[in-house]
Amino acid sequence: MRSYKLLGLAALIVAGAFLGLTSHAAKAAETIKVGILHSLSGTMAISETALKETALMTIADINAHGGVMGKQLEPVIVDPASDWPLFAEKARQLLAQDKVAVVFGCWTSVSRKSVLPVFKELNGLLFYPVQYEGEELEKNVFYTGAAPNQQAIPAVEYLMSEDGGSIERFVLLGTDYVYPRTTNKILRAFLKSKGVADTDIMEEYTPFGHSDYQTIIAKIKKFASQGKKTAVISTINGDSNVPFYKELGNAGLKATDVPVIAFSVGEEELRGVDTAPLVGHLAAWNYFMSLKNPQNAEFIAMYKKWAKKQGLPNADKVVTNDPMEATYIGIHMWKQAVEKAKTTDVDKVIAAMAGQKFAAPDGYTIEMDAKNHHLHKPVFIGEIRADGQFSVVWKSAGPIKAQPWSPYIPGNDTKKDEPDI
């Protein structure tokens, strides 16, 4: 009799375990997992934490409006901690272990280059939301930030114009990795094509996390004292921006003396800096928080509400910026593509992404190119205000089609404007 009871108990345990597994599987089937791959610690956390929050806010909003194909999105968050090899490990975890349908993430190009082989091997899908150096066009990536012709080139053209100060000498100052070095290679070739001599171009790099800018700013002052109008083009990334701008202020280097135009400094990075000495210095982006239009008002209000609800630090003073907008656009476009394809299958979603449109906070209906996996984006140049916001001093006539392969790099004229499938 006792053996029957034990058998019965064992059967119940097995049945319970089976039910637990099936209910877990059922729950997984009811949701669509999406990966969030951003540094929440280390040198890049200053920039990337806000992108994680933007992704979570957008996912929550989509879920509140019925989800995607009737299913709720389930975010899976990992922290690669500003460690480039760890990005690849975390990407593999998201794709192979967590089985996410898509990943929104990375900031630096070195992190994107680190994860790329994993996405190609496992046929994953990455939405990359930050301006970059171009010279890449991959099937498994959608680039929702700017290519060089949508940020860097227009910025330098502006500096060379009468409105931008008719600049004649250029300091190319960046963090030492692939994005600044490749962008500056393109900019150097562009400047030479405009008749700027090598002797009128200074190039300097600092490591990630660099904090002592006294020597470099002294060099810049000397370079700018040769009787020609001089500007700094900054591709400094991460938390190094704070000491750079502080030292710029300490040295009394005003925008009227040597203007700095930055490609990786936005509203978020300026939150920790006394902006009063920086008034008039510039940044080139595809979005500013200060833009006035209904879509932007809604986006800002949504993020402020999210910050308070989540109890984010300084929730009453949160800001929005360009990569946050690019994250927001990318998630919505992915949702639209999934609904068009009626599946999360990567290859079918990639096909459905062509020509997707979205009314963006930049004030334009933004379109994904039919072939080259890049958005057509407007360009804005803004001056830093005392409140850490930007006043737009120049903007493009409308959205500009991206050139992933810069015409200023020899041999690029033979490259295709679409990825190899």
pLDDT, tens digit (0-9, with 9 covering 90-100), for 203-239: 999 999 999 999 999 999 999 999 999 999 999 998 8
In a domain, 104, yes or no: yes
Residue 342 has pLDDT above 50, yes or no: yes
CA 359 centroid distance within chain: 19
Average pLDDT over residues 332-354: 98
Residue 260 DSSP SS3: strand
Tens of pLDDT, residue by residue over 194-204, are 999 999 999 99
Asked if 303 and 54 count as a contact pair (C-beta separation under 8 A), the reply is yes
Residue 14 has pLDDT above 90, yes or no: no
| pLDDT band per the 50, 70, 90 thresholds, residue 271 | confident
In a domain, 61, yes or no: yes
Contacts of 122 (CB under 8 A, 6+ apart): 92, 95, 96
Of the listed ranges 89-103, 127-141, 248-262, the one predicted with least confidence:
248-262
Report the pLDDT value the prediction gives residue 238, as an integer from 0 to 100. Answer: 87
In a domain, 7, yes or no: yes
In a domain, 370, yes or no: no
Tens of pLDDT, residue by residue over 81-131, are 999 999 999 999 999 999 999 999 999 999 999 999 999 999 999 999 999
DSSP, residue by residue, 355-395: T-EEE-TTSSEEEE-SSSSBEEB--EEEEEPTTS-EEEEEE
Average pLDDT over residues 381-403: 97
In a domain, 26, yes or no: yes
Angle at 340 between CA 374 and CA 338, to 5 degrees: 70
Q: Which domain holds residue 31?
A: 2-147
Tens of pLDDT, residue by residue over 272-296, are 788 988 999 999 999 999 999 999 9
Residue 12 has pLDDT above 50, yes or no: no
Report the pLDDT value the prediction gives residue 4, as an integer from 0 to 100. Answer: 46
CATH number at residue 92: 3.40.50.2300
Sign of the torsion formed by the C-alpha atoms of 185, 187, 190 and 195: negative
Residue 22 has pLDDT above 50, yes or no: no
| pLDDT band per the 50, 70, 90 thresholds, residue 383 | very high
Provide the CB-side half-sphere exposure for 288 (13 A, CA). 25
d(CA 248, CA 230): 15
Residue 21 has pLDDT above 60, yes or no: no
- Type of residue numbered 132: Y
Residue 7 has pLDDT above 60, yes or no: no
Provide the CB-side half-sphere exposure for 410 (13 A, CA). 0
- Strands of 158-235 (E only): list them: 169-175, 201-206, 230-235
Average pLDDT over residues 369-393: 97
Tens of pLDDT, residue by residue over 88-98, are 999 999 999 99
In a domain, 125, yes or no: yes
DSSP, residue by residue, 21-41: HHHHHHHHHHEEEEEEE--SS
Which of 234, 237, 211 shows the shortest CA–CA distance to 112?
A: 237
In a domain, 355, yes or no: no
Domain count, the chain: 1
Report the pLDDT value the prediction gives residue 8, as an integer from 0 to 100. Answer: 52
Could you say which DSSP state residue 172 is in?
E
In a domain, 274, yes or no: no
Average pLDDT over residues 41-68: 97
Report the pLDDT value the prediction gives residue 273, as an integer from 0 to 100. Answer: 83
What pairs with residue 204 in β-bridges?
Answer: 173
d(CA 188, CA 177): 17
| pLDDT band per the 50, 70, 90 thresholds, residue 27 | low
| pLDDT band per the 50, 70, 90 thresholds, residue 20 | low
DSSP, residue by residue, 281-339: -EEEES--TT--SHHHHHHHHHHHHHHHHHT-TTGGG----HHHHHHHHHHHHHHHHHH
d(CA 114, CA 8): 53
Asked if 321 and 289 count as a contact pair (C-beta separation under 8 A), the reply is yes
Q: What is the pTM of this model?
A: 0.92
Residue 182 has pLDDT above 70, yes or no: yes
d(CA 226, CA 229): 9
Q: Which residue has the higher pLDDT, 66 or 9?
A: 66
Residue 189 DSSP SS3: helix
Residue 13 has pLDDT above 60, yes or no: no
Percent of the chain with pLDDT over 70: 93
The CA dihedral of 3, 6, 7, 8, to the nearest 10 degrees, is 120
Report the pLDDT value the prediction gives residue 2, as an integer from 0 to 100. Answer: 47
Which token pair is 219?
Answer: 């060099």
